[in-house]
Amino acid sequence: MRLRRRKAEPRRAPRPNYMAIAVLEHALFGIQPEPGTAAALTIALRQVGACMTHRPVETTTLGQLPQALCTRCGKSMIQGDDGTWEMA
Ligand SMILES: [Zn+2]
In 3D space, the residue among 29, 17, 66, 26 whose CA is nearest the CA of residue 46 turns out to be 26
Alpha-carbon separation of residue 10 from 6, 30, 33 (angstroms): 12, 38, 34
Residue 32, pLDDT score: 92
CA 87 / ligand 1 centre spacing (Å): 9
CA 52 / ligand 1 centre spacing (Å): 7
The helix-helix angle for 38-47 and 18-29 (nearest 10°) equals 50
- For the stretch 18-53, pLDDT in tens is 988 998 899 889 999 999 999 898 888 776 766 778
Residue 49, pLDDT score: 66
CA 84 / ligand 1 centre spacing (Å): 14
Q: Parse the chain into domains and list their residue ranges.
A: 18-87
Percentage of the residues of the chain whose pLDDT score is greater than 90: 18
Contact (CB, 8 A) for 78 and 86: yes
